[in-house]
């Protein structure tokens, strides 16, 4: 059984290697495995955005909307990605301190995050991070992992069935496999993707002429809110520990500040 499974997995790996599905992430150059084609990814993002907009209330605050459009347009320009249909939506929900992006460049910012934002530079830190996820196709990368886990599960099922393992045993093994894959593989953006989006975001903000050090002040406000006993902001649950994040951002600032200085001179 193990041998059948092993050769099936080898075939899968060979398929992946020879079909040339590996790409490189922008800025970091990290090798990525993405089986989904950009068209498919774009369609998923488009459909998802429609669903979210149908059930959310868009902000009617002209100042908030103007701020997001202003910052979003400049960050999207700096990304150089013209195949995406960039959209920036401000959702009226003061209780949700969050922001996210869908594949193909649909960015959503909740008004709840604005209490930690007091300048265009700080909003740019949040928007550029999300644009970084979209540019590096993190959603498609994540969905690819899901596809692989599914294929792995199917191979396992076929292997077990062929060996005449009882149905009850098969389901116990599959359950254990599913749990392991959930812990190991299928999580929301991985830590690696989060730090990568931070790094791409710093470069994009700098290129767009926004002060990248605003990412520091933004995260420091988040930490303060947490210390003062307020409900832990939602952003925490899906993002790495802000203290580690701040340390990494500090390390990268000397690299991106010259890009910012140059962009300011060109404006």
Active site residues: 130
State the DSSP code for 212: T
Lay out the site mask for Zn ion across 178-197 (x = CB under 5 A, - = otherwise): ----------------x--x
CB of 139 to Zn ion, least distance (A): 11
Contacts of 96 (CB under 8 A, 6+ apart): 110, 111, 112, 113, 234
SS3 call for 87: strand
Q: How many chain residues touch Zn ion (CB under 5 A)?
A: 2
Task: Report CA dihedral (8, 12, 15, 21) to the nearest 10 degrees.
Answer: 180
Instruction: Please list the alpha-helical segments (H only) found in the chain.
Output: 2-18, 38-55, 62-79, 120-135, 138-162, 167-184, 191-207, 214-227, 234-238, 242-266
H or E segment and range at residue 163: none
Compare residues 130 and 159 and give the one whose CB is closer to Zn ion: 130
Look up residue 259 and give its two tokens: 């890009």
Residue 142 has a CB neighbour count (10 Å cut-off) of: 21
CB of 150 to Zn ion, least distance (A): 24
Ranges within 195-224 binding Zn ion (CB under 5 A): 197
CB of 160 to Zn ion, least distance (A): 37
Compare residues 195 and 210 and give the one whose CB is closer to Zn ion: 195
Compare residues 87 and 194 and give the one whose CB is closer to Zn ion: 194
Lay out the site mask for Zn ion across 83-122 (x = CB under 5 A, - = otherwise): ----------------------------------------
CB of 253 to Zn ion, least distance (A): 19
CB of 138 to Zn ion, least distance (A): 8
CA–CA dist 119, 36 (Å, integer): 37
Compare residues 127 and 156 and give the one whose CB is closer to Zn ion: 127
Compare residues 9 and 44 and give the one whose CB is closer to Zn ion: 44
Q: Which residues bind Zn ion (CB under 5 A)?
A: 194, 197
């Amino acid at each position: 059984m193990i041998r059948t499974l092993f050769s099936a997995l080898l075939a899968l790996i060979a398929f992946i290697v020879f079909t040339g599905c590996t790409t490189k992430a922008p800025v970091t150059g990290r090798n990525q495995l993405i089986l989904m084609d950009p068209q498919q990814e774009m369609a998923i993002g488009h459909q998802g955005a429609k669903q979210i907009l149908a059930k959310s209330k868009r902000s009617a605050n002209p100042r908030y909307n103007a701020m997001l459009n202003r910052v979003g347009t400049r960050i999207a320009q700096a990304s150089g990605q013209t195949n995406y249909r960039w959209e920036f939506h401000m959702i009226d929900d003061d209780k949700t301190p969050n922001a996210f992006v869908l594949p193909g460049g649909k960015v959503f910012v909740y008004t709840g995050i604005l209490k930690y934002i007091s300048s265009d530079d700080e909003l740019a830190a949040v928007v550029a991070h999300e644009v970084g996820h979209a540019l590096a196709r993190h959603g498609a990368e994540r969905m690819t992992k899901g596809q692989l886990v599914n294929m792995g599960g199917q191979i396992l099922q076929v292997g077990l069935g062929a060996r005449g393992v009882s149905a009850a045993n098969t389901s116990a093994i599959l359950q254990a496999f599913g749990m392991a894959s959930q812990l190991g593989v299928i999580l929301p953006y991985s830590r690696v993707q989060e730090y990568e989006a931070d790094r791409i975001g710093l470069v994009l903000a700098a290129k767009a002429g926004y002060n990248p050090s605003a990412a520091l002040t933004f995260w420091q406000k988040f930490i303060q809110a947490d210390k003062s006993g307020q409900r832990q902001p939602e952003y925490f649950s899906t993002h790495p520990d802000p203290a580690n994040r701040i340390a990494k951002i500090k390390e990268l600032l000397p690299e991106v500040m010259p890009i910012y200085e140059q962009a300011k001179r060109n404006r």
